[in-house]
Amino acid sequence: MGSNTVHLNVVIARTALGVLLLLLSGPTLRPAYAQFDLVGSWDATGNEDLAGDGLPVDYTGYPLTEEARLRGLSYSQSQLSMIERQCQGWPVFYFAQGPFGLRIWSDTEKANGTPISYTIGAWENRAPFVIWMDGRPHPSPNAAHTRAGFTTGHWEGNTLVAYTTHMQVGFLRKTGVPSSDQARLTTRFFRHGDVLTVLGIIEDPIHLAEPQILTKNFRLSSAAISPVGPACIAVFEGTELGESVAHYAPEKNPFTDEMTAKYGVPRDAALGVPETLYPEYRKKMKPRPAP
């Protein structure tokens, strides 16, 4: 047997081994298993009310603690005319509450395509939402809190799951119900065809009597959504720096019964009493006359 034949046999054997290993391991340069494509522009379908900011005291659908309720009732929207509060912005969960669409992009490891992060672009009153996919740990509990917080993510089947901590104090409701810096957000992204459903579960041991559960829907858009919104620019609106903060005594908030007067919503529901989120609460409500 000549040396050429031996060499040929070695080559053939290595090729066969390579084929075998390839079949056993599967290809590596194709879209990841169980992973839908999250990247792109997603329009908010806008068919549900998640913001609840139509009236000053509308806490319907929120299972609030007594502290959150009192803080909400003490809030006056005139605070937004104070220069130092005009751009105070919202925690990251506002991406699932506000009216905006999403622009999502990813960063990947150049060598092998491994996802490093997904980013949901910012808006005027919301910081960018970065979901780290590379296994980095959450910071120390004593680390700085930011408006965006710190988020890690992983895939469970066809669902992207993200977990956010380290958010700054903000709002659960735009009309004054606060969120604390101990709030946590678990987000699940479900994609069905061109519809993206986002489930947001907010836990706040100070302001929520039980976890708040929100879902919001988006539809894939062929028109690009900007990755950043307009800048928030604070301007003088007649309130001098250092003046007292506009507020109400909670028991004297003039808007407390506005939901009742306008829509027949019981006061407990307007104030976010937890039992009002369950169907049996209807039995406690007075029947309304037919319109």
Partner 1 sequence: MRVRAAMIVALAAAGSLGSAATAQGQNRGGGPPPTPRASAPIDFTGYWVAFVSEDWRLRMVTPPKGDYTRVPLTPEGRKVADTWNPAADASAGNQCKAFGAGAIMRVPGRLHVTWQDDTTLRLDTDAGMQTRTFRFAPAAGPADPPSWQGRSTARWERAAVPRRGDQDLLGAGPRPAGGGSLTVVTTNLRAGYLRWNGVPYSENTTVTESFDVAPHPTGGQLLIVTTVVEDPRYLQRPYVVSSQFKKEADASRWDPTPCTSTW
Binds partner 1 (CB under 8 A): choice among 37, 39, 48, 143:
48
Q: In the complex, what is the shortest distance from the CB of residue 1 to partner 1, in angstroms, rounded to a whole number?
A: 9
Residue with smaller CB distance to partner 1, 50 or 80: 50
Q: How far is CA 236 from CA 153, 230, 233, 240, in A?
A: 41, 18, 10, 8
Other Cβ atoms less than 10 A from the Cβ of 1: the count is: 6
Tokens read off for 251: 């028991």
Binds partner 1 (CB under 8 A): choice among 66, 67, 84, 203:
203
Is residue 190 a contact point for partner 1 (CB under 8 A)? yes
Residue with smaller CB distance to partner 1, 159 or 182: 159
Is residue 56 a contact point for partner 1 (CB under 8 A)? no
Q: Which residues 262-281 are close enough to bind partner 1 by CB under 8 A? A: 263-265, 269, 276-281
Other Cβ atoms less than 10 A from the Cβ of 285: the count is: 13
Binds partner 1 (CB under 8 A): choice among 40, 45, 80, 124:
45
Binds partner 1 (CB under 8 A): choice among 155, 169, 227, 247:
155
Is residue 83 a contact point for partner 1 (CB under 8 A)? no
Residue with smaller CB distance to partner 1, 7 or 245: 7
Is 103 within 8 Å of 114 (Cβ atoms)? no
Is residue 4 a contact point for partner 1 (CB under 8 A)? no
Q: In the complex, what is the shortest distance from the CB of residue 245 to partner 1, in angstroms, rounded to a whole number?
A: 29
DSSP labels for 209-233?
Answer: SS-EEEEEEEEEESSPPPSS-PPP-
Q: In the complex, what is the shortest distance from the CB of residue 234 to partner 1, in angstroms, rounded to a whole number?
A: 31
Q: Hey, is 120 helix, strand or coil?
A: strand
Is residue 207 a contact point for partner 1 (CB under 8 A)? no
Of 24-32, 70-78, 170-178, 231-239: span binding partner 1 (CB under 8 A): 24-32
- What is the spatial distance between Cα 76 and Cα 196, in angstroms, rounded to a whole number? 35
Residue with smaller CB distance to partner 1, 229 or 274: 274
Length of the chain: 291
Is residue 210 a contact point for partner 1 (CB under 8 A)? yes
Nearest to 57 by CA among 262, 215, 209: 262
Binds partner 1 (CB under 8 A): choice among 3, 222, 233, 282:
282
Tokens read off for 57: 């005291």
Binds partner 1 (CB under 8 A): choice among 74, 78, 88, 159:
159
Nearest to 105 by CA among 85, 133, 86, 77: 133
Helices (H) and strands (E) in the chain — how many of each? Answer: 4, 11
Q: How far is CA 229 from CA 56, 81, 242, 272, in A?
A: 25, 21, 29, 31
Q: In the complex, what is the shortest distance from the CB of residue 70 to partner 1, in angstroms, rounded to a whole number?
A: 21
